[in-house]
Each structure stands twice: as structure tokens, then as C-alpha cells.
């Protein structure tokens, strides 16, 4: 392999040239929510390990989750989880070769975002109502 | 050559020479995560705001402990594959890429083992 001087070639159009479309937004959000879930697994690990360590550690971690900021993070995490899950279902549908037309894939994109917001709202309604609100 | 199936053509392909392994494991864990994440949401909603003794007893029960362990394994494998894709897309310098891929594996294994240890301690430990 000789390392010759790279030739200046025309580049293919990249993100900057396209109009925003639901599919590209959902693709980006899928990646962002995936990354958030990745780091958010620390929350699950903290919850489990604190429960294993004893009442004091458990109360400490629960206190962090009950703090408004902690609750905000949990809310965001639950939305990211549901959004990534619905987005994943969309990808599994595409894997079978279905819903590949622009119309169908746009519809799936909108269903993903509408579904994730709706489900997150419902989830928190159920969670808060069963505890009488916090 | 006459007896080669299409599968033989893709075996061992790709930059890591693992063929379709990455793609397939991502799909298998995606499907298992669908069920296991639903379980996790059910579990968290059920146990949110409960005292330590209640949570501890629930998590130690096999009906909860086993799905949690399954979720941890499935989730950690899935997220490691996903982050690997992101790293390979965005980190182009070979040295930094290898380092990032290593950190990815370390993180995934550390989180997975921490969760698994916690569930094991809740189930068996004192």
C-alpha cells in the first residue's frame, strides 16, 4: 500500500444539504436514545446494588430518584426506553422488507414519536396514581 | 462451488471477520429486550416508592430475579453492540477507536456484572 497524497474528490451530499424529514430525525433520535439508555443502565445498577447493600444505601439511592432532578432524569429515561423500543419495532418491521415505501416509512416514523410520548404519559399517570401522587 | 449456499458467502465477512454475527445478535437481543423491558417497566412501577424490605423480598424472588438477570444479559449485549456501531461510525483514528471499543466492552461487562451480583446477593446472600 503506497501512501500517496489524497486526491480531492467531490463528496456525496451529507446532512447539511437535506431538508429535515421525519425519518432522519427518528434515525438520529434512535441513536441518541440508545446512547442515553446505555449510560442510564448505571441507574438500574445503582438501584439493584443499593437494594442488595441494605436499607441505608437503598434510602440514599431512592432519595436521589425522588429529587426533582432525579425524577426528571427517570422521566427522560422512561421516554428514551419507550422511544427506542418503538423505533426498534419499526426496524424489525423493515428487516422483513415491509413498509419500505416513503409513505409507509414516514407513517412509521410519526407513529414512533406519537406512540412514545403517549406511552410515556400513560406510564407516569399509572405510576403516580397508584402511589397517590408524589 | 456448486454446493455453496449464500450463507457460506457471508460467513467471516466484515471488518471484524464475524460475518452477520453482529447484525443477528443485535436482532435477537432486540426481540428479547422487547419482552424483558416490558417486565422491567412493570417491576419498577410496582416497586416504586416501596420500602426496602418489600423491594428486597420481591427482587429476591425467582419470578423477579430470573427475568432481571435475563434482562441484564440481553440488555448489556444489545447496548454493547449498539455502542460499537456508533464508535465505528464516528471514531476514525485507529488507536482511539480500539481504545473506545475496549472501554465499551469494559463498561458493558462492569454494568452487567454489577447488576448480576446485586441480584445474586439479594437472592442468596445475607
Distances (CA, A) of B30 to A90, B25, B33, B82: 11, 8, 5, 11
pTM: 0.87
Query: Is A95 within a domain?
Result: yes
Query: Is A66 within a domain?
Result: yes
* For A94, nearest residue in chain B (alpha carbons): B27
pLDDT at A134 over 50: no
User: CA nearest B41: which of A86, A84, A123?
Assistant: A123
Count the domains in chain A.
1
- In CATH, what number is assigned to the domain containing residue B71? 1.20.1300.10
- Specify the pLDDT at position B63: 96
Interval A20-47: pLDDT, tens: 889 999 999 999 999 999 999 999 999 9
CA atoms within 13 A on the CB side of A29: 23
Query: Is B79 within a domain?
Result: yes
> Average pLDDT of each block of 10 consecutive residues along chain B (126 residues)?
72 69 94 97 91 95 96 98 95 95 98 97 88
Residues of A in contact with B41 (CB under 8 A): 78, 81, 123
Query: What is the span of the domain harbouring residue B47?
Result: 21-124
- Average pLDDT of span A7-27: 81
Query: What is the span of the domain harbouring residue A100?
Result: 21-130
Query: Is A11 within a domain?
Result: no
A86 vs A109: CA distance, rounded Å: 10
Distance from CA of A19 to the nearest CA of B (A): 22
- In CATH, what number is assigned to the domain containing residue A48? 1.20.1300.10
The helix/strand/coil state of B76 is helix
Count the domains in chain B.
1
Contact between chains at A41 and B83 (C-beta distance less than 8 A): no
Query: Is A1 within a domain?
Result: no
Q: Is the CB of residue A87 less than 8 Å from the CB of residue A111?
A: no
Give the number of A-B residue pairs with CB atoms closer than 8 Å. Answer: 80
Amino acid at each position: 500500500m503506497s501512501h500517496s497524497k489524497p486526491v480531492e474528490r467531490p463528496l456525496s451530499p451529507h446532512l447539511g444539504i437535506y431538508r429535515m424529514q421525519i425519518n432522519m430525525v427518528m434515525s438520529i433520535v434512535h441513536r441518541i436514545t440508545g446512547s442515553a439508555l446505555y449510560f442510564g443502565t448505571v441507574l438500574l445498577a445503582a438501584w439493584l446494588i443499593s437494594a442488595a447493600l441494605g436499607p441505608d444505601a437503598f434510602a440514599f439511592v431512592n432519595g436521589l430518584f425522588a429529587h426533582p432532578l432525579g425524577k426528571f432524569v427517570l422521566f427522560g429515561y422512561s421516554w428514551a426506553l419507550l422511544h427506542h423500543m418503538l423505533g426498534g419495532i419499526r426496524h424489525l418491521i423493515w428487516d422483513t422488507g415491509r413498509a419500505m415505501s416513503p409513505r409507509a416509512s414516514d407513517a412509521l416514523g410519526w407513529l414512533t414519536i406519537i406512540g412514545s410520548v403517549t406511552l410515556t404519559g400513560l406510564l407516569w399517570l399509572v405510576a403516580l396514581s397508584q402511589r397517590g401522587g408524589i | 462451488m456448486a454446493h455453496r449456499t449464500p450463507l457460506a458467502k457471508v460467513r467471516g465477512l466484515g471488518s471484524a471477520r464475524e460475518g452477520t454475527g453482529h447484525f443477528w445478535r443485535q436482532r435477537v437481543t432486540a426481540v428479547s429486550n422487547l419482552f424483558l423491558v416490558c417486565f422491567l417497566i412493570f417491576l419498577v412501577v410496582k416497586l416504586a416508592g416501596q420500602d426496602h424490605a418489600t423491594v428486597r423480598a420481591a427482587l429476591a424472588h425467582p419470578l423477579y430475579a430470573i427475568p432481571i438477570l435475563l434482562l441484564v444479559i440481553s440488555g448489556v449485549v444489545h447496548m454493547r453492540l449498539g455502542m460499537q456501531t456508533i464508535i465505528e461510525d464516528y471514531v476514525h483514528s485507529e488507536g482511539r477507536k480500539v481504545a473506545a471499543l475496549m472501554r465499551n466492552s469494559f463498561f458493558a461487562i462492569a454494568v452487567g456484572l454489577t447488576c448480576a451480583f446485586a441480584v445474586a446477593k439479594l437472592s442468596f446472600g445475607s
